[in-house]
Chain A
């Protein structure tokens, strides 16, 4: 009997050891995949119990705040939506986007550095860190209001630092009601959740002529006074390049080719410099790279030549007709409003494109500065001399060319219009910077699905945004 009893005890001990081994598997070995299982909402629910860091505008005003409701914090938006596609939403059900997602570690307080050592030892959770953006709510609101019911985007930045002052995308949405409206927003064909400024890829049309002109001036192939003759058509490689609305410009110089946006001349210039130089100039402006904004992966697209959804290699083969059309911003060239704003900024800042950024400062709940923006050079587009030449030419666009609607009294604006055909409608562009002799703001305005030209609909909008930005007491 005793031997049998001992055996039963041994079996029992083995069963208990099996329990311990299984427990180790659950709590340690397999714990990571259990924690990250989509069915597991514990992590988000725990974060909702901690006061989330604020998202502030450059003026210090609260863009995304907190309110406590039955033990859980939820986001409030005291100014209404401000750049919601950039700031993002924070939903227990639909997760997070934008800054809410990319800086969640700081905002939720889970990132080390936001918690004091004593708090961590005691298991206390201090509130998340506050994130101060470079977005200036006053300018952002002007841009959003100016877009109104049109589809499109405005990106405004400080060319001397790269700080994004405004990034408006229309249509927009209200992140305060995301839980209720998400399903409808996700299905809306006009894509209100899309950050058009960084994710919208559009044919840049004539606004791209600034890039072509930069390459040609750099190579010494043209000067502002180089004479050209336009017959309304430029034939090459069995095809032809024509002007907008079939216009014929006759004899003109290179400056006039830019101010009046002569396609045939820029097609000739494209042929003159060739594919390699054109693509090389694009890369120097930042094309073929993803601008390093503090946004989640997939929220900023690189610009360049695309085949369907795929960015082509810079060395992908082009025939002479392709090069001629690419030089006028058509063919397969696609650019985001952010990239075209960076082109304007490069000209404005003596050929230097500063690294674009959205986050001015991150401050812990105790007031320690955890991170501060440090402006740095992203890419060099051209020489100061060429930049100055382009600056003068772009002033002419506003003073006597297609961009007169962007003119402001007392402020010299430099810019370039663009009107790209996409399907049956146009994509209207205006890229600009001001004041031309001491640039403080660079802008790109894109209106999609319009029947008008960039000079008609985009230029006046750019003027409003520039005016609002220059009226600010301080900019990032």
Chain B
């Protein structure tokens, strides 16, 4: 079966699953079923069929699993958001429409993913400007300055900046990987590359600290720094960068713990939420209580106890940062582990694409995107389950929020382009290449 037919089959399965999930919520809410549930499932499927057709036309050899995974995650997200608030689900549906448009636009505009390497500094600069905009024009929510308002929409630029920075790093690290791999000097007994090449990396470190101090966004700061460390390691295979990077981040985080009250509080909650059960620890404890209620299999979509009678969620920010707790409550441990496995599968496809890629830039780009995706998942799920301190970032594809949903669809588009490109280039003769590209 061709890659696209495999994808279509998987999408059909997702469409059925999405319809069942939505029908379950609908039945729990209204105690009967109507055609609406089926219609919603169909509309959802149509949106992903647009993506599928775009791939058929432009990326026939793209990975067949990424889009079905993204569709399944989006379906789970939309269902859970609908269950919490039908009005928000409608808005999220609109964002999905915009995300699909952005996916198609990315494929049409970029065409050849290798071209992005040439624009690495420009793209990197755009990423920086996006973040700078947040500091200058941003509005604060929950003590963090993360959003800018454009034409009535709240946009979280860091979600897009993360992709821009990964593109920049892939280009930059691919160009300089030899120099970065050969130490020419020693600092405190540790071999270090020439300062000239180290400069941009210090810029990254400063950037993550700026995010921490000025935007109070510990989650994104951690995500950027960790992605950066992982990428420089993948580019150079030198563990010294990991050690040095971890130390730098630890120093930065330690300083923030001392001097930034917001960060200090996050750590205090993590260490002992019970001490402040009625105040700052309330949200995390409610999240744990909600998950504990889920047990092995949960009560089912739409049947958990997630809303008070006045429709206020039992866990604050349930539809955004804490959406994982909602899923784990309603689908239990089975659903929670299943969701984590879906993220692991998505990342695995990303790394798989990186390993198949033919050039260094594509490899680093795919691996970087897979890393930023997987890490973001780990940071937010780890946060709401108290494995690590809670930092407010979104759960890709599932959390309510337009920026996260659209940015991650762009991320999927880039991975698919790398995947398609490497298969076409790797395949022998020109005829073969044209056949694979399905443009003959």
Contact = CB atoms under 8 A, between A and B. Distances in A.
Interface of A: 1-9, 12-13, 15-16, 18-20, 22-24, 26-28, 30-31, 34-35, 37, 39-40, 42, 45-46, 49, 70-72, 123
A13 B385 contact: no
B237 A3 contact: yes
B111 interface: no
A302 B382 CA distance: 53
A20 B387 CA distance: 10
Interface string B331-368: 01100110011011001100100110000100110010
Contacts of A18: 382, 387
A8 B288 contact: no
Contacts of B340: 16, 19-20, 23
B317 interface: no
- Chain B residues touching A, majority SS: helix
A71 B177 CA distance: 63
A24 B235 CA distance: 36
B309 A49 contact: yes
B333 A70 contact: no
Given A8-B234, A70-B310, A23 B274 contact: no
B235 A1 contact: yes
A19 B381 CA distance: 7
A442 B39 CA distance: 71
Contact of A27 (B235, B291, B347, B355): B291
A26 B378 contact: no
A12 B308 contact: no
A19 B371 contact: no
B300 A2 contact: no
- Chain A residues touching B, majority SS: helix
A16 B310 contact: no
Interface residues of B, number: 58
Nearest to B238: A4
A27 B292 contact: yes
Contacts of A31: 292-293, 295
Contacts of A23: 291, 328, 333, 336-337, 340, 385
Contact of A42 (B289, B370, B378): B289
B296 A37 contact: no
B360 A1 contact: yes
Nearest to B350: A9
Interface of B: 28, 177, 230, 233-237, 274, 277-278, 285, 288-296, 299-300, 303, 305, 308-310, 314, 328, 332-333, 336-337, 340-341, 343-344, 347-348, 351, 354-355, 360, 363-364, 367, 370-371, 374-375, 377-378, 381-382, 385-387
B375 to A, nearest CB: 7
Given A27-B332, A27-B336, A16 B309 contact: no
A16 B336 contact: no
A291 B274 CA distance: 40
A46 B274 contact: no
B289 A34 contact: yes
Contacts of A40: 285, 289, 292
B328 A123 contact: no
A70 B374 CA distance: 42
Task: Report which residue of B289, B292, B309, B328 has the largest number of chain A beta carbons within 10 angstroms of its beta carbon.
Answer: B292
B351 A5 contact: yes
17 contacts: A4-B233, A5-B351, A5-B355, A8-B233, A8-B351, A8-B367, A9-B370, A12-B344, A18-B387, A26-B291, A26-B292, A37-B285, A39-B277, A42-B289, A42-B305, A49-B305, A71-B309
A39 B274 contact: yes
A19 B387 contact: yes
Contacts of A46: 305
A27 B370 CA distance: 28
B385 A42 contact: no
A2 B382 contact: no
Contact of B385 (A7, A19, A39): A19
